[in-house]
Amino acid sequence: MKSIQAVSYPVHFQEKAYESLSNLIVQKNYSTIFILVDENTFEHCYPKFISKLITDKAIEVIEIESGEINKNLETCIGVWNAITELGGDRKSLLITLGGGVITDLGGFVASCFKRGIDFVNIPTTLLSMVDASVGGKTGVDLGVLKNQIGLFANPEMVLVDTDYLTTVSEREIKSGTAEIIKYGITYDIKLFNQIKENKGLQIADLIFRSIEIKNEVVLQDPKEKSLRKILNFGHTLGHAIESFYLESEDKENLTHGEAIAIGMVCESYISNKLLGFKIKKVNEVKNVILSIYDKTTLLKEDFGSIIDLLKHDKKNVNGQVNFVLLNDFENHQLDCKVAEELIIESMEFYNS
């Protein structure tokens, strides 16, 4: 599979990618190599990784606890202290091996350590492969607010090896699928139809196409001033729902994809009401999503808390929530204001 050239770094695929990484390490002559893992990727991915990498440099493993709940500044402080104690300097390299928590947090840690050291991302979940491989977003949560603290910072390269997907659960694969559906709906209806028809899909091809799309979008608008906002389709309400479940102690958490899937159904409904996005297409989105994800009934008494969380969305300006909505498949409208009543109605539509 050929490589994709992102804004300022390449995304390499499969076997060839390890060769590129080994070469990078020789060229840059790093003083120390750190690899950031969690207990799962250390057990299931690290053995493969280390058997493929050719280097005579020592590799120091830094392990953090898995889970979104640990994507915070306390964890960063732990990693910064570990790098310091292990003798990290400005010529060190940090490799991240894991899902979005590891790649987002690791990129942030590297970018702030002694005002920035190099990092390489190796996403091991479908979500992090299709979502975090390009775009340069790094960050951690502040309380329940997702990615509230972070930076735009580019890795030296990204290594995508679909073999790592054999180590993750069905539920995690589905979480990543929601992002692929998003690329389909907003940018490439053929991709959406492939998922809808679910015939002979090659996961590697879906990943490649998703990264290609995200890269096209990000290259045109790296700092999310306009076009890039389409990548937030389903995410405005989806993030609020995800945060709400994360902070509700009596409710099981949703995966990112499960929350975003609900968000896409709701925001398609809102698009129908505000922009005339055809109701037949709204139902098509809903059906595809309900064919993949179990329905999570949103409780009426929770609507208020979810709407409160919307007010902290990073895209808001002057307290006004901004939605990306659809005129049609592949045709979006930015910065749409939506009345609270309609947001509630959209959640009732999802429930119905």
Asked if 299 and 248 touch (Cβ cutoff 8 Å), the reply is no
# chain residues binding a copy of itself, by CB under 8 A: 35
Strand partners, 157: 120
Residue 60 host element (H or E): strand 59-64
Binders of a copy of itself among residues 186 to 205 (CB under 8 A) are none
Is residue 151 at the binding interface for a copy of itself, with CB under 8 A as the rule? yes
Compose the 273-312 pattern: x for residues touching a copy of itself by CB under 8 A, - for all others.
---------------------------------------x
**Whole-angstrom Cα distance, residue 157 to residue 153?**
12
Q: Is 57 among the residues that bind a copy of itself (CB under 8 A)?
A: no
Check binding of 220 to a copy of itself (CB under 8 A). Answer: no
Q: Does 229 contact a copy of itself by CB under 8 A?
A: no
Q: Using the rule CB under 8 A, is 113 a contact of a copy of itself?
A: yes
**Near a copy of itself by CB under 8 A, which window of 33-41, 95-103, 111-119, 274-282?**
111-119
- Report H helices in 232-314: 235-247, 256-275, 279-292, 303-310
The amino acid at 124: T
Q: What is the dihedral of CA 268, 245, 68, 74, to 10 degrees?
A: 130
Asked if residues 289 and 278 have their Cβ atoms less than 8 Å apart, the reply is no
Stretch that binds a copy of itself, among 70-78, 207-215, 257-265, 340-348 (CB under 8 A): 70-78
Measured CA angle at 173 (ends 249, 61), to 5 deg: 80
User: Binding of a copy of itself at residue 86 (CB under 8 A)?
Assistant: no
How deeply is 2 buried, as exposed, middle or buried, from its count of CB atoms within 10 A (0-12, 13-18, 19+)? Answer: exposed
* Cα 348 from chain centroid (whole Å): 27
Ramachandran assignment for 334, one of left (phi > 0), alpha (psi -120 to 50 degrees), beta (any other): beta
Residue 44 found at the interface with a copy of itself (CB under 8 A): no
The answer to whether residue 28 forms part of the interface with a copy of itself (CB under 8 A) is no
Asked if 50 interacts with a copy of itself (CB under 8 A), we say no
70 binds a copy of itself (CB under 8 A): no
- Closest by CA position to 336, among listed 314, 320, 348, 350: 320
Pick 85 or 294: Cβ nearer a copy of itself: 85
Binding test (CB under 8 A) with a copy of itself, winner from 114, 196, 273, 281: 114
Q: Pick the piece of the chain touching a copy of itself (CB under 8 A) from 3-11, 54-62, 123-131, 142-150.
A: 142-150
Written as one letter, the residue type at 235 is H
Contact between 115 and a copy of itself (CB under 8 A)? yes
C-alpha distance from residue 95 to each of 7, 84, 258 (Å): 19, 16, 28
Determine contact, residues 250/331, Cβ cutoff 8 Å: no
Q: Which is nearer to a copy of itself, 223 or 280 (CB)?
A: 223
- Residue number with CB closer to a copy of itself (184 or 238): 238
100 interacts with a copy of itself by CB under 8 A: no
Task: Tell whether residue 239 is a contact of a copy of itself (CB under 8 A).
Answer: no
Q: Among 302, 326, 325, 152, which residue's Cα sits nearest to residue 240?
A: 302
Q: How far is the CB of 61 from a copy of itself (least distance, A)?
A: 20
For a copy of itself, the closer of residues 79 and 195 by Cβ is: 79
Q: Which residues contact 250 (CB under 8 A, 6 or more apart)?
A: none
Return residues touching a copy of itself (CB under 8 A): 31, 73, 76-77, 80-81, 84, 87, 89-91, 111-116, 137, 139, 142-143, 145, 147-152, 312, 314-319
